């Protein structure tokens, strides 16, 4: 993996934030939701992520590339 200054800074900040909560995922989540609520109260717009409906079986379907590789390997 290449050294990217931006990624290094993001990872450093993420680790520092997690360390504040002793790496407790629930506490980290609660803090992020609290921060999100504060931003919304301060007038920032919150955009819901798009909802994609995937059926249970659809996630198991191979991709076109995987099918091509499988077919070429079995011929």
Quote the pTM value: 0.57
| 31-54 pLDDT, tens digit each | 999 999 999 999 999 888 888 776
* Residue 21 near residue 27 (C-beta atoms within 8 A): yes
State yes or no: pLDDT of 7 exceeds 90. yes
The pLDDT assigned to 68 comes to 77
Between CA 1 and CA 16 the distance in angstroms is 22
Q: What is the pLDDT of residue 57?
A: 63
* pLDDT category of residue 73 using cuts at 50, 70 and 90: confident
Q: List the domain boundaries for the chain.
A: 1-48
């Amino acid at each position: 993996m290449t050294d990217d200054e931006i990624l290094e800074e993001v990872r450093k900040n993420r680790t520092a934030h997690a360390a504040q909560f002793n790496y407790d995922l629930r506490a980290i989540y609660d803090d992020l939701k609290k921060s999100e609520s504060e931003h919304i109260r301060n007038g920032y717009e919150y955009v819901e992520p798009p909802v994609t409906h995937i059926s249970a079986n659809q996630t198991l379907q191979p991709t076109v590339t995987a099918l091509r590789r499988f077919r070429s390997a079995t011929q």
